[in-house]
Amino acid sequence: MARLIDHLNALHDGYVAAVNTAVADDDLDRAHRLAAEYDADAIRMIAEHEGRTDLLPIRRPHTADSGLRTLIRRLATGYAA
């Protein structure tokens, strides 16, 4: 049985590839949507693994950024310059 971290790493890798494609296509809106989907999918995966789906949906503060969101924000800033 695979560990949670292995599933999360695979999920992350898939989203990184999709975000990179969106950025290469100069579609930052899609990249932002993908980052939001990653956050939701990762949280759901963790909740299911821990048997705590009763806590879903978890609302993240607007100030919290995942690694993907930080990358997109940096890229967007670079494009705007």
Give buried/exposed letters for 44-61 (b at 16+ CB in 10 A, else e). Answer: eeebeeeeeeeeeeeeee
pLDDT class of 81 with cuts at 50, 70, 90: very low
Angstrom distance (rounded) from CA 1 to CA 59: 29
Predicted pLDDT of residue 6: 95
- Using a 10 angstrom Cβ sphere, with 0-12 exposed, 13-18 middle and 19 or more buried, the burial of residue 71 is middle
pLDDT class of 62 with cuts at 50, 70, 90: low
Range of the structural domain that residue 23 is part of: 4-80
- Could you identify the residue written with the tokens 């993908």? 34
- Total structural domains in the chain? 1
**Entry pTM:** 0.66
pLDDT tens digits along 14-56: 999 999 999 999 999 999 999 889 988 998 999 999 888 887 8
Predicted pLDDT of residue 27: 94
